[in-house]
Structure 1
Amino acid sequence: MEWFTAPEYWTGRLVFQRALAVVYLVAFLGAALQFRALIGERGMLPVSRFVARVPFRRAPSVFHLHFSDRFFAAWAWTGCAVSLALVAGLDGLLPLWGAMLLWLVPWVLYLSIVNVGQTWYGFGWESLLLETGFVAVFLGNDEIAPPVVVLFLLRWILFRVEFGAGLIKMRGDACWRKLTCLDFHHETQPMPGPLSWFFHHLPKPLHRAEVAANHVTQLVVPFLLFAPQPVATAAAALMIVTQLWLVLSGNFSWLNWITIVLALPALTLPGKAPEVPDTPLWYVIVILSAAALIVFLSHGPVRNMISRRQTMNRSFDPLHLVNTYGAFGSVSRIRYEVVVEGTADSVPREDAGWLEYEFRGKPGDPRRWPRQFAPHHLRLDWLMWFAALSPAYAEPWFGGFVERLLANDRDTLRLLRRSPFPPDAPPRYVRARLYRYRYTTWEELRRTGACWERTYVREFFPPTRLDA
C-alpha cells in the first residue's frame, strides 16, 4: 500500500511525537502542582461539587466515579510518568497496537482532568492538546512508515488553528484591519514576558508590518500546507518562525509551542526511513475509520469559521475531538490589574498597614520585571487578568480565593510568589483594588527603574474578614 504511507516524513513524525510528549508532560506537571487550591477537595471550585451537578455524558471523566486529592495527584503524576516514557521513545519498542494504546493513555488521562477543570481549564490550548493527542494515537511507530491520512489530519488541525485565528481578527477588532493592534497588544496581553516591554516600544511602522505579516501567515499560508513539497515545508517553516516570534513577545502557556509541534510533521526533515514490513490491513481500516469520524465532526468548526458570528475556542463534543480555535478577536487598549492586599490591623481603615500579595507572573510591583513562564500555565494569574477585564469573570472563584488568603491556606499561597504574612499569622482583612497599568517610557525606566506605572481606579473587592 504505497499510497498509504509517506516514508519521507519519518524524521518529522519522530520529532513531532517526542515534542508532543514534552507538551503532555508540561500539562500534567502543571495539573499536579496546582490542582489542590483550584479544584481540590478544599479548592476554590471543587471537583466534587462540579460532578454532583454535571452528568458524565456532558463531561466524561474518571472523577465522576471517584475523587480525592490523593487520587487526582496519582492520576496527574501517572500522566507525567507516561509522558516521560513517550519522550524516551518507549512507543518505538512496542508492537504497533501497543504503541497506539500507549499514546491513548495520556489522552484519556488529560481528558478526565480538562472535563472537570471548569473555568481553570477553559482555554483553547487544552482542547488543542486533546485534539492533537487523539490524532497522534494513529500516527504509528517504527513498525510502519508515517500514514499520509494522519499527516493530513494534523495539517487540518494546524490549518484551523491559524486560519480560525486570522478570521476572528479580521471580523473582530477594527485595529487588526487598520494594522494598529500591536500599538496596544504587548502592553495589554494577559501575561507579558521579559521582552514584552521592548516589543511594545518598537517603532510603529514595524508594528504595522508585524500585523500585516500575521495576516498573511494566518489567512494565506495555511492553504499552502496542502500544496506539494517543498511548498508545504516552506509554509510550515513560516508558521514556526511566526510562533517563535510570539514566544519571545509574551507568555501564552503552551499555545505557541503546540502550534509549532503541529507544524513539524509537515516538514521534510533529513533522515532516511528504514525498511519496514507492509502496513497491516487492520491498521489501514482503523486509520480510515478514525479519519472519517474526524472529517464528519469537522462540519461544526467549518460552519463556525464561515459564520459571521464566529466564536473562539469552542469544543463541539465532550471528547474534544474536533474544536474551533482563535485568539485576540478583540484587543484591550488599557491594561487593568487587580491588586490584592491584606492587613493585620483590627480596623480596615484606608491608612491601615495594607501589604500587597505578589503573584508569580501577572504584573504587580511596578519595579518587578516580568518573567518567562511559558509553556508552564499559571492558571490563577491568567484568571486574574480576566477578572480585571470584568468582575463577572471572577464571580465563581474570587470569593473563595480571598477566603483562603484569610486562612493562610498553604496550597493557595504556593500559587503565589510571596505572601506578606507569616504562616502562623494570617491577615485579619483582605481587599482587592483595581489599578490601571501602563509601560513606562525609556526615560521613565532610566529614572525610576520601573517598567510599569500604575494609577488607582477603584475598589474591586471590599475589605473582608474570615468570619464575615
Structure 2
Amino acid sequence: MEWFTSPDYWLSRLVFQRGLAAIYLVAFWAAARQGRALLGEQGLTPVPRFLARVPFRRSPSLFHLHYSDRFFVCCAWLGAALSAALLAGAGDQVPLAVAMVAWLVLWLLYLSIVNVGQVWYGFGWESLLLESGFLAVFLGNEHTAPPVLILWLLRWLLFRVEFGAGLIKIRGDRCWRDLTCLYYHHETQPMPGPLSWFFHHLPKPLHRVEVAANHGAQLIVPVLLFTPQPVASVAAGIIVVTQLWLVASGNFSWLNWLTILLALPAVDGRRAAEVLGLPRPPAPAAPPVWYEAVVLAATALVLVLSYWPARNLLSGRQLMNYSFNPLHLVNTYGAFGSVNRSRQEVVIQGTDDPVLTPHTVWKDYEFRGKPGDVRRMPRQYAPYHLRLDWMMWFAGISSAYAGSWFTPLIGKLLVNDRATVKLLRATPFPGTPPTHLRARLYLYRFTTPEERRATGAWWHRTLLGEYLPPVRLEETEQSERPA
C-alpha cells in the first residue's frame, strides 16, 4: 500500500524516537534513584501495601507478580539501559520486529512503575510519556518508511495536549480571560527555575501579551496541525517556540520537552533535511504485511479509545490530566486551570535539644528544588523530576494533599533514614538524628529588584503559622499504627 508510509518524514521520526528515548532514560533514572525512598518496602507509601488493596485489573503492573525493592530498581535500571541503547541508535541496527519489541518493553516497564506509583506518579506527563511511548512502538525503524497513520495519531495526541490545556484555561480561572494570570504564575508555580524571578518582574503589559499569545498557541495553532504542508510545519514550529519559553521560565519535568518532540512528526522532514543539508537515506523496503496489519490494529484501537477524550474536550465539565483506562492510552490533558495568587511553603525544621524551651534553636531542612533558603537562587532540574519537592508544593496548598505521606516523611527524618535524606539537598543533622521535628507554613514571594540589590535574597518569607507541632519519633510511630 503506497499510502501506508511516507518516506519524507524519515528525519522527523528519527529525532522523535531519539528524543523519546532520552526522556525515557531520565524517567527510569529518576525511578531508580527515588523509588526506594518513596515506594519501597520501607518507603513513604510502600508498594506492597498498595498491591494488597488494589487488584491487577485496576493497576496492571509486573509488580503484581513479584515485588521487592531490588526487583523494582532492576526494572528501572533495565529501562534506563534499554533507553540508552535506543538513544544511541540501536533500534535502527536490528530487524523491525526486534525494534518494536524494544519499544514495547520500555512501555511495559514504565507502565508497571506508574501503576504502583500512587501520589508520586499522579502527574499528567506520566500518562503523556506512556501514550507517546505506545505510539512509538509502531513507528518502525529505518528498515521501513514511517507509517502515515501513526504520524497522524501523534498529531492527534499533540492536539489534545495543547487544545485541552487551552480549553481548561479559558473555562477555568478568570485571570486567563482577563489576561492577568502571569502576574502570579511565575512566582507561584510548583518549582520556579533560575529565570523565573526575572520573568516575574517583566512589565505587566508584556505579561498580558504572553497570556494572549498562549491562548492563540493553544486554541488556534493546534487546529493547523491537520492542514497541508507547509502550514502544519509552521504550526509545529510555533508550538516548539512556546514550549521553549515555558522551559526557560520554570521546571515542569519532561512535559515541555515531550510536547516539543510531539511537534516534530508534524514537520515536513524532507524540507527540514534539505535546509540542514542532510543527504536523503536510501529508499526503504516495502513494509511487511504483518507490520501493516499491526499498525492498522493499533490505529483502530486508538480511534475507538479517542471517543472519551474527544467527548471530554467538548464537555463543560472538562477533566484535566485524566486516564480513562489503566493502560494510560488516549488520555486527556491540561494544566493550570487555576492559578494560585500566593505561594505557601511548608518548611520542615528540627532540633537536637532533648527538651524544648523558648530558647530552642530550630534548623531548616533544605530541599533540592523547592524554595527554602531565601538567598538560594532557584535551580534548573527539568526534565528530571523531583517528586518529593513537587508534592511539598501541593502540601503547602492544602494538608489534604499530604495525608498519606507527610507523617511517614517526618518519621524517616527523625531517624536520618539514608534513602529519604538522599532526596534532600541538605540535612542540618548529618550525624546524630534530631530529637524533635516541626513544620511551619510560610508565605513566600519574590523579592523586588530593590530588595534583591539590598539583601541578595531571591525570596522574602513571612510566617503564617504552624503546620505540624513539634513531634518526637515515638509520636510519629503511634500515628502510623492502624486503629
**Per the shorter chain, which TM-score range?**
over 0.9
Q: Deviations over 1:280-333 (max 9, x none)?
A: 221111111110100100111111111111111110110111111000000000
Instruction: Please name the residue that 1:154 is paired with.
Output: 154
Q: Deviations over 1:92-145 (max 9, x none)?
A: 111111111111111000000000000000000000000000000000111111
Instruction: Please name the residue that 2:478 is paired with.
Output: none
Moved more, 271-280 or 394-403: 271-280
Alignment pair present for 1:257 and 2:252:
no
Gaps of 5+ in 2: 476-483
Q: Which amino acid aligns with 1:457?
A: L
2 CA distance for matches of 1:304 and 1:392? 27
3-state DSSP of counterpart to 1:18:
helix
Moved more, 188-197 or 342-351: 342-351
Alignment pair present for 1:427 and 2:440:
no
Give 1:462 shift: 1.1
Instruction: Please name the residue that 2:332 is paired with.
Output: 324
1 CA distance for matches of 2:102 and 2:358? 58
Give 1:41 shift: 1.0
TM-score, length-normalised on structure 1?
0.99
Instruction: Please name the residue that 1:10 is paired with.
Output: 10
Return the match for 2:292 from 281, 284, 291: 284
1:186/1:249 contact within 8 Å kept: yes
Alignment pair present for 1:227 and 2:227:
yes
1:35-434 matches, within 5 Å, as 35-268=35-268, 269-270=272-273, 271=278, 272-423=280-431, 425-434=432-441
1 CA distance for matches of 2:31 and 2:59? 18
3-state DSSP of counterpart to 1:467:
helix
1 CA distance for matches of 2:98 and 2:86? 12
2 CA distance for matches of 1:342 and 1:329? 36
1:408/1:426 contact within 8 Å kept: yes
Q: Cα gap change, 1:229/1:343 in structure 2, threshold over 3 Å: closer, same or farther? A: same
Alignment pair present for 1:33 and 2:33:
yes
1:145/1:273 contact within 8 Å kept: no
Give 1:347 shift: 2.3
Q: Which amino acid aligns with 2:12?
A: G
2 CA distance for matches of 1:364 and 1:349? 25
1 CA distance for matches of 2:356 and 2:266? 60
Runs of 4+ in 1 over 2 A off after TM superposition: 347-351
Alignment pair present for 1:438 and 2:445:
yes
Gaps of 5+ in 1: none
Give 1:413 shift: 0.4
Q: Deviations over 1:62-109 (max 9, x none)?
A: 111111111111110000000011001111111111111111111000
2 CA distance for matches of 1:71 and 1:369? 38
Moved more, 332-341 or 2-11: 2-11
Q: Which amino acid aligns with 1:434?
A: L
1:442-457 matches, within 5 Å, as 442-457=449-464
Give 1:350 shift: 4.5
Moved more, 347-356 or 152-161: 347-356
1 CA distance for matches of 2:358 and 2:329? 52
2 CA distance for matches of 1:348 and 1:310? 50
2 CA distance for matches of 1:185 and 1:38? 28
2 CA distance for matches of 1:349 and 1:328? 43
Q: Cα gap change, 1:149/1:74 in structure 2, threshold over 3 Å: closer, same or farther? A: same
Q: Deviations over 1:394-444 (max 9, x none)?
A: 001000000000010000000000000023x10000000000001110000
Give 1:273 shift: 3.9
Moved more, 112-121 or 349-358: 349-358
Q: Deviations over 1:246-271 (max 9, x none)?
A: 00000000000000111111112214
1 CA distance for matches of 2:147 and 2:135? 12
Q: Which amino acid aligns with 1:370?
A: P
Give 1:6 shift: 1.0
2 CA distance for matches of 1:212 and 1:422? 49
TM-score, length-normalised on structure 2?
0.96
Q: Which amino acid aligns with 1:419?
A: T
Give 1:274 shift: 1.8
Give 1:351 shift: 3.1
Q: Cα gap change, 1:451/1:93 in structure 2, threshold over 3 Å: closer, same or farther? A: same
1:8/1:273 contact within 8 Å kept: no
2 CA distance for matches of 1:236 and 1:427? 53
Aligned residues: 467
Q: Deviations over 1:5-32 (max 9, x none)?
A: 1111111100100000000000000000
1:7/1:273 contact within 8 Å kept: no
Q: Which amino acid aligns with 1:374?
A: A
